[in-house]
């Protein structure tokens, strides 16, 4: 990535509004494409962030241009491995 017209918001455990504000801040700075990234239990929060940003803060100005899903392997502190689901939701200005 690294382009001035792209931004990334990593969605975690904080309330959805925190990530909505992070996305809104980037949009207001002129970023044309934002990627919301989340994994595990934060996936549903990332979907909420995308919908709140798109429908309440920028109605008709932002669209979901791509959704990518996948799996990452996590290594636990005890050395065991497990798979965790990941999602990337790409929001683009119209």
Q: What is the pLDDT of residues 19-29, one digit of tens each?
A: 999 999 999 99
Tell me whether residue 23 is in a domain.
yes
Tell me whether residue 22 is in a domain.
yes
**Domains in the chain: how many in total?**
1
Average pLDDT over residues 64-92: 96
pTM: 0.90
pLDDT band at 4, cuts 50/70/90? Answer: low
CATH of the domain at 55: 3.30.110.20
Q: What is the pLDDT of residues 36-75, one digit of tens each?
A: 999 999 999 999 999 999 999 999 999 999 999 999 999 9
Encode 65-84: b = buried (16+ Cβ within 10 Å), e = exposed.
eeeeeeeeeeeeeeeeeeee
């Amino acid at each position: 990535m690294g382009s001035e017209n792209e931004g990334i918001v990593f969605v975690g455990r904080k309330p959805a509004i925190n990530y909505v504000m992070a996305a809104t801040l980037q949009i207001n700075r002129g970023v044309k494409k934002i990627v919301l990234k989340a994994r595990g239990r934060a996936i549903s929060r990332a979907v909420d962030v995308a919908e709140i940003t798109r429908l309440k803060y920028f109605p008709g100005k932002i669209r979901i241009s791509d959704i990518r899903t996948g799996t990452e392997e996590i290594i636990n502190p005890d050395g065991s491995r497990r798979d965790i689901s990941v999602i990337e939701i790409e929001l683009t200005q119209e």
